[in-house]
A and B are shown apart, each in its own frame.
Chain A
């Protein structure tokens, strides 16, 4: 087994991990500053956009996904695709609070009172 890792070590080029870590920390700081701007869409964009970028950096540089066999990437991407399928099949039911012949009173009331409360705040 150790001979296996020696051959791999010869192949894995270890980048400067501290530099990548520094980039991740900077991105973290940016994402924390986002809410302070008060611009909602910007905040969400920075928060989730940065999350995706950070995840990519960790996957590429720390997990070396790009150095693994291609099918590992396919496996991970396929999992995400199936989660998207789960979301698209379920969201039409869960994200609505009324249908042709039903109504989720409790959820509607909660949304209603929530929007009233935030209207009062403003």
Chain B
């Protein structure tokens, strides 16, 4: 089945100038690179920069919610229109320009060729193009802040008629720029996803069967497939929305025979699988980390795969749980309640597998391990609170309250932010050739996780009490909130400020360690996967000699071995073979 690389290509030296040792210009090395590792860095830094912007937006609107009508330091007065834009752009940026680029694009790009034992993606130039399209999309999105009437304020879900008519959303130019930016981001991820899928299918090292692929690679590939499938109908829907905005069509205009529900369906048909696009890579990252720092085999590799496939399929039949009170056919609401409750089962199973992996392990509480463990704990809360929302009866009450906001932050934050920090702290030595400072790492960890809970636990309470979403000032709309809870809203806002403040130790750690961190060996964590067999950071072309794989990625603490880890590319020694 596998096609070993032919003799002429097994060694990098004979590959011609493309991989020669002549120094590359700054332009070719940093701006015009086709090297997957450099493209990963580009995605990572762009995503991180946008995370700071997204975090700032949250700070501003939470200040408005805690101290309504007051000038927000570092921003000014928050008008209703600006509030809507802040909330819209926060959500949009965090999902499309932070979570996806960091988890899928950055780590997918960096890890996949290394972990499957090849030199780069199968289409390096398309890879470069995908980042360029992505960068363009980010620029257009940021530009929308500065155009007449500012950024789009119709929520990240962009429901028409609000999003279709400038008379309603008051930022028609921003609305179209938003749509174009999102569409370009989709194109970038379609291009990137193709690379991930085809590289993993075809580019694996000899000996690496499907069951030897590290879980994180599987997860990113499956996430890419989920994305590719679900985004299609939304692209169609977005074209229709753009035409409604600009060209006078009435696809979604009920006044002219259209149907706004069509957009909702097309959006959420994508929107629900999208959350799994963000979740799956985080689950993969956690799997890699807990096996290494518990020195234990993954409890059920094939179980994890089968449940992930099941989740992927199920994720396509739950979408209308976002529309329970939008006026959909109540019989469909019954169907979607059942499927939504069903989909909690495979994910729960995965959490059990992870806990079983940890059980009896020899646990080391390094910074990456702390992040991975906190993912499990926090995501559990997110998942459990989703059950309330998945039941259409309960959702009639909870929909559009802060309970929903707290729920999805307990799922998104672990996936996108905790997942990002877990991955960064784990693979930083490999990416940058230096070790991060453990003390700063732990300070950052505890500050972030505690602050995160301080932000969102109050919102579960206020949401369950009845606080409605997307209201910029409860003083002016008292019937949209429960009175007497302002102290909780203030507490939540303090949490945001503390959270942002605790990112400072991380930034210090990140940039200081780049120059002054202890030099990282090839395999500081004593891990089995292939990326730890190359220098830190890996050279252009990754492997001086392309590896052959002999076993799965999780052979930790295998009985009868001198060391408690067993790299995938270590040949089977004759003595051990006899013992088998």
A/B: CB atoms within 8 Å of each other: yes
Task: Name the residue on A nearest B329 (C-beta).
Answer: A92
Whether B316 pairs with A94 at a CB distance below 8 angstroms is: no
Q: Which of A89, A96, A100 contacts B265 (CB under 8 A)? A: A89
A89-B265, A89-B269 are known; give 5 further A-B pairs, CB within 8 A: A82-B229, A93-B265, A96-B329, A102-B327, A106-B256
Whether A89 pairs with B327 at a CB distance below 8 angstroms is: no
Q: Which of A89, A100, A104, A107 contacts B320 (CB under 8 A)? A: A89
Whether B255 pairs with A93 at a CB distance below 8 angstroms is: no
For residue B345, CB closer than 8 A to chain A, the reply is no
Could you say which residues of chain B place their CB within 8 Å of the CB of A101? Answer: 327
Q: Which of A99, A106, A107, A110 contacts B329 (CB under 8 A)? A: A99
Task: Name the residue on B nearest A78 (C-beta).
Answer: B229
Most buried by A among B255, B259, B331, B336: B259
Whether B262 pairs with A90 at a CB distance below 8 angstroms is: yes
Q: Which of B256, B261, B316, B336 contacts A93 (CB under 8 A)? A: B261
The digit string for B249-266, where 1 denotes a CB below 8 A from any CB of A, is: 000001111010110011
Q: Which of A79, A90, A92, A104 contacts B257 (CB under 8 A)? A: A104
Question: How would you classify the secondary structure of chain B's contact residues: helix, strand, loop or mixed?
Answer: helix
For residue A86, CB closer than 8 A to chain B, the reply is yes
Alpha-carbon distance between A93 and B266 when the two chains are bound, in angstroms:
12
Could you say which residues of chain B place their CB within 8 Å of the CB of A94? Answer: 259, 261-262, 265
Whether A106 pairs with B330 at a CB distance below 8 angstroms is: no
For residue A30, CB closer than 8 A to chain B, the reply is no
Query: By the criterion of a CB under 8 Å from any partner CB, how many residues of chain B are at the interface?
Result: 23
User: Which A residues fall within an 8 A CB radius of B?
Assistant: 79, 82, 85-86, 89-90, 92-94, 96, 99-102, 104, 106-107, 110
Could you say which residues of chain B place their CB within 8 Å of the CB of A92? Answer: 328-329, 331-332
Minimum CB–CB distance from A117 to chain B (whole Å) comes to 15
How many A-B pairs have beta carbons closer than 8 Å: the answer is 52
Could you say which residues of chain B place their CB within 8 Å of the CB of A99? Answer: 327, 329
Could you say which residues of chain B place their CB within 8 Å of the CB of A90? Answer: 262, 265-266, 269
Minimum CB–CB distance from B343 to chain A (whole Å) comes to 14
For residue B233, CB closer than 8 A to chain A, the reply is yes
Could you say which residues of chain B place their CB within 8 Å of the CB of A96? Answer: 329
Alpha-carbon distance between A107 and B317 when the two chains are bound, in angstroms:
28
Whether B257 pairs with A106 at a CB distance below 8 angstroms is: yes
Whether A85 pairs with B317 at a CB distance below 8 angstroms is: yes
Most buried by B among A82, A101, A110: A82
Minimum CB–CB distance from A73 to chain B (whole Å) comes to 16
Could you say which residues of chain A place their CB within 8 Å of the CB of B460? Answer: none
For residue B510, CB closer than 8 A to chain A, the reply is no
Whether A107 pairs with B327 at a CB distance below 8 angstroms is: no
